[in-house]
Amino acid sequence: MSSGNDTYIVGFILLGLSSNPKIQIVLFFIFLIMYMIILNGNIIIIILILTNINLHTPMYFLLSNLSFLDLCYSTSIVPRMLRDFLSENKIISYSQCAAQLYISLSLGVTECILLSIMAYDRFIAICYPLHYTTIMTKVVCIRIAAGTWMCGFLFSILHVTLTFNVNLCGNREINNFVCEVPEILSLSCENNIFVELVVFVAGVIFLMAPVTFILVSYVHIIWSILKITSSSGQRKAFSTCGSHLTVVTIFYGSAMAAYMKPRSLSTPGTDKVISIFYCIVTPMLNPIIYTLRNNDVITAFSISDLVFLDFSKHTKLEENNFSRSCLIRNLPHRILHP
């Protein structure tokens, strides 16, 4: 990355959410709690899906990928954010900023594609149930997941390379808590029409196209659900689809607001709130939404609790039996030697 003048720039300064030390302490604990919820919630979902044979289906295979994505995505951003709350040194080097941008952008693009694949999975399951097992086979699911991850990480190489080859002015302050493409481009000394065009085209391909595909899929899904005669079947279908639509609305809405709105409409306060939504709020809400709105996950979680309780009772019973046997063996000795 080059500078518009001859001054050597060692990196960027992340201004964060606030410059007030007292507010930063409060924000540290708030986002630490949110990060712990992200870690615990997504890890629990991954463990449930891996250990419960009833959840070894294409839908939950994709859900486990989503949970792993959210774990990685939040971890690429939040630890640095928490560190900056407690440190006076807000400087992030070019290499660190590029690495953070590449990882977060790769995972974000992967999630954009994955959510549309999850909509396709529900479309096949509800609209063509008799063909579901032949279409969404284990091999197909693995190939789709692998292709999704590869697409996200390969595309981001081009995106990050173009972004970090713009000419910068003297200002190196990023008015956000994370390295983002729009913020870096706003520091440029020149009109980067080509880079901005690439950002817009990427938004059309990875944001607008998946959203359109998801909406069309759900029009067919809702139409098929209304044809289901069983009320319990309708409730289960609406529950599964409702949770997915909630995730889609939050994630795509905030991502499009960040990357596709005109620069003239951008304000530092609004951009920070938008970044919080798709960087932190969405990964935090995903496990909660899928747990509370999905009967299969609730059942699997209940079974895990029952197994744990049964194991605890069994262990306690064995301990009691062992204590009784020891008491019986020592009883003659106590009678003879009180």
DSSP string across 186-237: TTBSS--HHHHHHHHHHHIIIIIHHHHHHHHHHHHHHHHHHT---HHHHHHH
DSSP symbol at 281: I
Looking at the DSSP assignment, which residues form a beta bridge with residue 3? 168
Q: State pLDDT tens for residues 317-326.
A: 444 554 445 4
Percent of the chain with pLDDT over 90: 36
Tell whether the torsion through CA atoms of 146, 151, 152 and 158 is positive or negative.
positive
Q: In this structure, what token pair is assigned to residue 209?
A: 């196209």
**Where do the domains of the chain lie, and which CATH numbers do they carry?**
2-293 (1.20.1070.10)
The answer to whether 37 and 284 have CB atoms below 8 angstroms apart is yes
What pLDDT was estimated at residue 304?
A: 54
79 pLDDT higher than 80: yes
For residue 302, give the nearest of 67, 61, 48 by alpha carbon.
48
Give the confidence band of 222 by pLDDT, cuts at 50, 70, 90: confident
What pLDDT was estimated at residue 327?
A: 42
